[in-house]
Structure 1
Amino acid sequence: MKIAPIDIPEPSVPPSLVHCRDLVVGYAGTPMLPPVTVQVRPRELWAVFGPNGSGKSTVLRTILGILPPVSGDYICHAQSLGYVPQRNEIDPAIPARVIDMVRAGVERNWSFISPMWTWRRREAIDDALGDTHIRQLTKEPWTHLSEGQKQRVLMAQALAGNPQLLVLDEPTSAMDVHAERSIFALLDELRRRRSLGVMVVGHNLGVLARFATHALFVDKDQAAVAAGPVREVVGGSAFVERFGRGVADTLGPANAT
């Protein structure tokens, strides 16, 4: 008896949410960095890092569409994008409760003609509060929160819009190491639970290497860019030239899934 071979399909690769190919960022047509090629897919956590003033925020703003690229290709396939700004961009004395802040994340999609909108809106807000573990804080004033709690509120605000891609600009600045690890552990949890693509600017190399799946290293002074799986970037020549082989060897392994 002859048995026909069974065709086993190749594992599918999720489509990219953002695809930058030979993207050159800068101001007024003047390049700041070498070309950047990056593909961000669902369930990937990309750490964007480099020395102070290296061009991290410029890359982020270009990807967000705030700044036009100098040249290259940029395609955003994500149907929705959530942006979490630095906390110092939020008025520290804003007279709002946590629930008010999170509601603001869905107000832009409000519509009179959607009969299901009220229900969907409440569900999105409740999911965002639950996924960031701040349901118990809903009635708390913004001014009473710790830095870590404020960061979770801003993340919930972005998540209330049900984004496919979440972008965060230095979410752990002015935090102690424990709070910083807690925020990155939450990002790791969110990208798995919600199948999110995540891009986050950060500075703590140990925390980034522990929780990120991929990395984008930029260094304006050395005219260097490196992108890919975090282990490859941390072990690459651009990183080693800036931080040294010892630092590369001591950083922990990246997430594999």
Structure 2
Amino acid sequence: MGSLVILDIEERQLDEIQVKALHALANQSWKLIEYGKQKQEFIKVQNMLKRKYVELEKFTSLVSHDIKSPLANIISLTELLKEENQGKLDEETTQYLNYLVESSYSLRNYVDGILSFYRSEHILEKDHENVDLNQLLKGIAKLYDVKEDVIITYPGTTILHHVNKAALTQVFLNLISNGLKYNQKPRRKIEIKYREEEHFYCFEVLDNGEGFPEEEASRIFDLFTTLETTDREGNPGSGIGLATVKKLVDSMGGKVKVRSTPGEGSTFSFTVQRL
């Protein structure tokens, strides 16, 4: 493997302490060599996983395109069939066509959710930056409060230092979207709260939606877990959105949890580590 040589101008006898010191130095050198070998193996495995991930991403994109294209055709042709035969189809046939459209939309949303979950890896690679929380939430609110029955309130100007803006935006988008979709109230409300702790930024997203039993809170963030509820359009959930939220929050060094009361609404709380 190699040798460590110590030279002197005359022959000397090493005492016991010096011998032990050389043994300790040799052991330390051996450990460094082993650590170096392990690091090289780790780099090889890491590079292999990166290549596999790229291949998987290409595959999912291809499959999603191949699935969504015929789904779009099914939806458009079914709607056309209903329109051209309006008044000619009996109630049962019309119901079957409606089921076909609803199922197609559900599958499309499911595919979109899977892609969003795996593409979140790219979001985590984004650079950290200083973010004006008020401006970030104002931009998100504009996407949803165009309807008269939607009210979204959020904090004033607050600067968050060195955070992943893309990941934080995706978390808010998912939580706000859920709070509005699964809400049958005539006036849908979302309230966002914020406070700072020594090591974390702390957020709460409150809605006045349908809520769910407390015992469901422990599994609601699991991938593909749904609560057998439907949104305002009658579509079932995919069980991917909240799993993505947890994945992103965990990556930002925080934690996410939820409190909910059936019929009254839910409060999603999450933290982001201050760097």
Q: Which has the higher contact order (CA 8 A, sep 6+)?
A: 1
Structure number having the greater helix percentage: 2
The TM-score normalised by the length of structure 2 is 0.21
Q: Could you tell me the TM-score, scaled by structure 1's length?
A: 0.22
Name the one with the larger strand percent: 1
- Rg larger for: 2
